[in-house]
Structure 1
Amino acid sequence: MKMSVVSVLCILFALHGQAGAAPSARVQKIIASTLGVSRYQGADVALDATGATRQYLVYARDSEWCGAAGGCTLFILTNAGEGRRVVSRMTLVHLPVRVLPYLSHGWHDLEVSYSGQLSDGRPALVTSRMRFDGARYPLNPSVPPAEPVMFPSGDRVLAPDNPIQSSVMH
C-alpha cells in the first residue's frame, strides 16, 4: 500500500495535535481536583500495547510540583471504568517525554530527562528509561530501577513547546 506524502503528513500532524489537545472535562476535573494541578502540559497516548486503554500524561507546571532546577512532576492517568485513575507519578522530570517501542509488562517504556551530572561532574540533562513494572512506572528517573539512556530515541509525546493548559478548579 502506497501513501502519498500529503497523507503521511496529515497523519503525523493529527497525531502530533493529540499531544497538545485539551483533555475531556472529566480528565480536567481529575487534574484539578484529584491532582491539584492548575497549569500543565498534557498528551493523550496509548502506553498499553494492546491499545485497549488510553493514557493521559500530565506534566505539572505549578510551582508546588516543580523544583528550582530539579524538573517537574509527571502524572500518568489511565482509563478505569467510567473514569481515570493515577497509574504513576514521576518526580524531577524535564521535557521532552518520549514513548519507546519497547514493552515492559505490556506497556511501552518511557524516556524522561532529569537534572544530573556528566562523568566529569558538570551539570547536564540526563535521560533515563522508565519501565512499567506491572503496576506503575518508577518514581525517580535518577535512581534504579530507572536505566540511563545514552542516545534518546523514542517518539516525543510531550515537548517544551507543547501548549500550557489550565484546569478549572471547582
Structure 2
Amino acid sequence: MRMYFSAPVLCALFALHGVAGATPATALQELIGSKLGVSRYQGADVVLNEAGTSRQYLVYARDRKWCGATGGCTLFILTNSGNDWRILSRMMLVQLPVHLLPHLSQGWHDLVISYSGRLPDGHPALVSSRMQFNGVKYPSNPSVPPSEPMTHLEGLSILVPGSPIQTSTSH
C-alpha cells in the first residue's frame, strides 16, 4: 500500500523525526525518573495532536520492572500543557519499532505498535497493531481490541531498536 503525504505533513513529520531522542527538559526528566520510576529508556519527542497545541514524549521503559521476559516493555505517552507533564497513555507488551501514521483519530495521529504474537498458523512473530486515540487516551494493549491488526509496518519510524538509551537523573 502506498502512502501519500502533503507537503506540510511531510515537513512536520521530518521535523519531529529530527528531534526524536532529544534530551527531555527537567520537569519531564522528573516525571520519568521519580513518578514513573523509570531509570533506563528510549525516548522520542513528538506532536501527536493535529492542532499541535501540545507536545508529547514517548518513553519506552527499558528497566526490568517494566519489561516482560518475552512480552516486550511498557511504552508511556506523556503530554504537556506548558511545563506541566502528565501521563496520557500507558501501553504494555510493546516491542520496537513504533510508527506514526498520517491518519488521525479524534484529531490525534494513529500509532503502529509492534508486539510478540503469533501468526494465523500459530508460529511466533512480531505482530503490528494500529492504535487509535479515543478522545482521552490510546489503548493499553496492542494484542486485543480496540487495536486493529496490521499486515505490514507503515508510517514514520519514531522509536526503533537502535534508538539511544537514556537514563533519568532523578529516581
**TM-score (normalizing by structure 1):** 0.90
Q: What is the count of residue pairs matched by the alignment? A: 160
Q: Do the aligned residues in 1 keep the contact of 2:129 with 2:149 (CA within 8 Å)?
A: yes
* Residue equivalent to 1:91: 92
* Residue equivalent to 2:19: 18
The alpha carbon displacement at 1:26 in A equals 1.2
| Distance (Å, rounded) in 1 between the aligned partners of 2:165 and 2:82 | 28
Question: Counterpart amino acid of 2:148?
Answer: E
* Residue equivalent to 2:136: 135
Which structure 2 residues correspond to residues 34-53 of structure 1 after superposition, within 5 A? Answer: 34-53=35-54
Write the deviation string for residues 84-108 of structure 1: whole angstroms up to 9, x where unpaired.
Answer: 1100000000001011001111100
Q: Which runs of 4+ in 1 moved over 3 A?
A: 14-17
* Residue equivalent to 1:4: none
Question: Counterpart amino acid of 1:26?
Answer: A
| Distance (Å, rounded) in 2 between the aligned partners of 1:25 and 1:38 | 14
The alpha carbon displacement at 1:24 in A equals 0.8
Question: Counterpart amino acid of 2:41?
Answer: Y
Structure 2 unaligned regions, length at least 5: 1-9
The Cα RMSD (Å) is: 1.6
| Distance (Å, rounded) in 1 between the aligned partners of 2:124 and 2:152 | 17
**TM-score (normalizing by structure 2):** 0.89
Which piece of structure 1 moves more, 83-92 or 20-29?
Answer: 20-29
Write the deviation string for residues 139-168 of structure 1: whole angstroms up to 9, x where unpaired.
Answer: 000000000011211100000111000001
Which structure 2 residues correspond to residues 53-132 of structure 1 after superposition, within 5 A? Answer: 53-132=54-133
- Secondary structure, counterpart of 1:20 in structure 2: coil
In terms of Rg, which structure is larger? 1
Percent of aligned positions that are identical: 62
The alpha carbon displacement at 1:81 in A equals 4.3
Write the deviation string for residues 16-48 of structure 1: whole angstroms up to 9, x where unpaired.
Answer: 341111111111111001111000000000100
- Secondary structure, counterpart of 1:21 in structure 2: coil
Write the deviation string for residues 112-139 of structure 1: whole angstroms up to 9, x where unpaired.
Answer: 1000001111000000000000000000
Question: Counterpart amino acid of 1:52?
Answer: T
| Distance (Å, rounded) in 2 between the aligned partners of 1:72 and 1:149 | 20
The alpha carbon displacement at 1:83 in A equals 1.1
